[in-house]
Amino acid sequence: MKNDVSKLYLVPTPIGNLEDMTYRAVRILSEVHTILAEDTRTTAKLLSHYNIQNNIVSYHQFNEHQKVDEFVQRLENGETMAVVTDAGTPGISDPGFLLARACVAAGIEIETLPGATALIPALVNSGLPCDRFYFEGFLPHKKGRQTRLQFLSQQEQTFVLYESPFRLCKTLEQLIEVCGTERRCSVARELTKMFEENFRGSLQEILAHFSNKEVKGEIVIVVAGKE
């Protein structure tokens, strides 16, 4: 039965291994009136795997500004909605923040489920200090990129970047320019999947490793802070 109390749920989805879906997440996605999905095709496959039949609506970075008011109004009228992205926790380098902020402003209840994210496994698995850390997410592609790299190089705590496989080596080269060749680093690739790889060493060693192979999968770069 659908819940009659309006509420927005932020529901993490697996970053690779479908076994990382929680029982609670499956239940919520089954019960809400509408699922807002970054890619409806990707979400449809996930729902099919768990035998969930529900209404899916597209909600991604190209339409979220236009859709927020509509979704808030529907929530105010008594609907329940769940936001999911292609992988991981909504709002972390993915759509979700704008709607959550609008719901807070409108006094609509938000419930966020704990679950999959690439950030924490890569950080903890790096062997670098993780009692304090700085999460940068994706660097700007052009404007402001060097400014951010310079800023990160001066941080005393471990810092974490997301990167695409196509820009990994370029980013490692730029990190060497601002941090030096010997700064300790860990690169996590294909987390939770069959070909998961965690390669640790100096920035120079890691660049040499990935320069000699075709890089696939989503990338998390974890870099030691400045001593």
- As a whole number of angstroms, the distance between CA 63 and CA 55 comes to 18
Q: Over the stretch 9-49, which tens digit does the pLDDT of each residue have?
A: 999 999 999 999 999 999 999 999 999 999 999 999 999 99
Mean pLDDT score of the chain, rounded to an integer?
95
CA 199 to chain centre: 20
Taking domain 119-223, whether its CATH number is 3.40.1080.10 is answered by: no
Reduced to 3 states, what is the DSSP secondary structure of residue 158? strand
Nearest to 113, CA basis, from 74, 154, 85: 85
Under 8 Å CB-to-CB from 138, ≥6 apart: which residues? 93, 161, 162, 163
Rounded CA separation 100/72 (Å): 10
Residue 224 has pLDDT above 50, yes or no: yes
pLDDT tier at 4 (50, 70, 90 boundaries)?
low
What residues have CB less than 8 Å from 26, skipping those under 6 apart? 50, 52
Q: Which CATH class is domain 7-112?
A: alpha beta
Neighbours of 30 (CB within 10 A): 16
CA distance 96 to 190: 23
Domains of the chain: which residue ranges? 7-112, 119-223
Distance CA 53, CA 191 (A): 28
Give the separation between CA 5 and CA 2, rounded to whole angstroms. 9
Tens of pLDDT, residue by residue over 131-160, are 999 999 999 998 999 999 999 999 999 999
Instruction: Decide if 200 contacts 186 (C-beta within 8 A).
Output: yes
Q: How far apart are CA 161 and CA 67, in angstroms?
A: 29
pLDDT value of residue 212: 85
The percent of residues above 70 in pLDDT, for the chain, comes to: 98
Does the pLDDT value for residue 3 go beyond 90? no
Decide which of 3 and 60 is more confident. 60
Under DSSP, the state recorded for 13 is: B
End-to-end CA distance of the chain: 56
Q: Give the pLDDT band of residue 5 (cuts 50, 70, 90).
A: confident
Which pLDDT tens digit goes with each residue over 194-222? 999 999 999 999 999 999 889 999 999 99
pLDDT of residue 1: 38
Same fold, 7-112 and 119-223: no
